[in-house]
Amino acid sequence: MSDTSFQTEVSAKAAESGANASAQFAERMAAAGGRRGAVDTARADYLASKAIKALNDIVIEDKVSYEEYNALKAWLIKVGNDGEWPLFLDVWLEHSVEEVANAHHEGSKGTIEGPYYIPDSPELPWNGTIPMRDGEPGTPLVFKGQVRAVDGRPLSGAKVELWHADNLGFYSQFAPGLPEWNLRGTFIANEDGEYEFTTIRPAPYMIPTDGACGQLIEVAGWHAWRPAHLHFKISAPGYDLITSQLYFPGDPHNEDDIASAVKPELMLDPHDNPNGEGEIVEYDFVLDPES
Ligand code: DHB
Ligand code: FE
């Protein structure tokens, strides 16, 4: 990697990755038919009334002042201007939505998707290498395992979509200067449901600090870190898709992930690869029949 592409990448601005995340989300919602039919009138009335009441209760109980009310108003306007609604919602709310959505699953645990998924990444064989730059910095990581059903049947041809940050904590298509599909790929499991592909170990991720979310984090005295993680979507016809993230032992932010997305079942156990190059790790995915 040249010095100039390094500088382009690290000079990424919150407004830039936020605007990309907002645009990507809008595109996917439009492709799925927009909002039509998603929430009926009775449910919208119930949920919106309850949310508004919860906020009013806080104002009364905690005697919120006009200064605080105006600070909130200015901040909410800034969240929109910075395009940071996807980041805000995925960090502070999505984990509960995911918990509710997948509570009935008996197979592998999942976790939040986050704002940086892009569908239709390049398809690769079960033992391929994820798209990366020449000399991509970072420890090589071989990831192997099997996709199977809860009844133990291997799922031949299952799709294992992987996306993750690079060795500096940046995602392609959301930070400038990275090739379009860098560290994004769709591996197709072999006839035994197996995969054994190569990537690099990602760095911990810091949510952008120069936008509205960063402003809240600073004012409230929080930190902006997510532990290093690999994002996955695992799918096979007739089974519920799993959206997951996997984490590395020893990361200082496994215990205080700002997005509350770490679970004990999602911890990897990497070892030195006997081939002398980097690390190897095994992890299987177990899918529930379509619900
Ligand atoms: C955010 C970023 C991530 O990489 C992730 O997995 C979840 C949330 C964020 O910036 O909002
Ligand atoms: Fe992420």
pTM of the model: 0.93
Task: Please say if the pLDDT value at position 62 is more than 70.
Answer: yes
| Closest atom of ligand 1 relative to the 229 alpha carbon | 6
Q: List beta partners, residue 109.
A: none
224 closest CA partner among 250, 195, 256, 201: 256
Q: Is the shortest distance between the CB of 116 and ligand 1 below 6 Å? A: yes
Q: Ligand 1, from 90, 111, 118, 209: best to mutate by most atoms within 8 Å of Cβ? A: 90
Place 90 in a pLDDT band, splitting at 50, 70 and 90: very high
Q: How many angstroms does the Cα of residue 275 sit away from the middle of ligand 1? A: 33
Mean pLDDT of the chain: 94
Distance (Å, rounded) from C-alpha 268 to C-alpha 228? 11
Domains, the chain, ordered by start? 12-291 (2.60.130.10)
Residues less than 5 Å from ion ligand 2, measured at CB: 114
Evaluate the CA torsion angle 220, 230, 272, 149 in order and state its sign: positive
Report which protein residue has its CA nearest ligand 1's atom 9. 87
Residues 6+ apart with CB under 8 A from 268: 246, 247, 248, 249, 281, 283
Q: Is the shortest distance between the CB of 166 and ligand 1 below 6 Å? A: no
In the chain, the percentage of residues whose pLDDT exceeds 90 is: 86
* Local structure of 134: helix, strand or coil: coil
| Closest atom of ligand 1 relative to the 114 alpha carbon | 7
Task: Please say if the pLDDT value at position 9 is more than 70.
Answer: no
In tens, the pLDDT along 148-172 reads 999 999 999 999 999 999 999 999 9
Q: Is the shortest distance between the CB of 79 and ligand 1 below 6 Å? A: no
Q: Is the shortest distance between the CB of 113 and ligand 1 below 6 Å? A: no
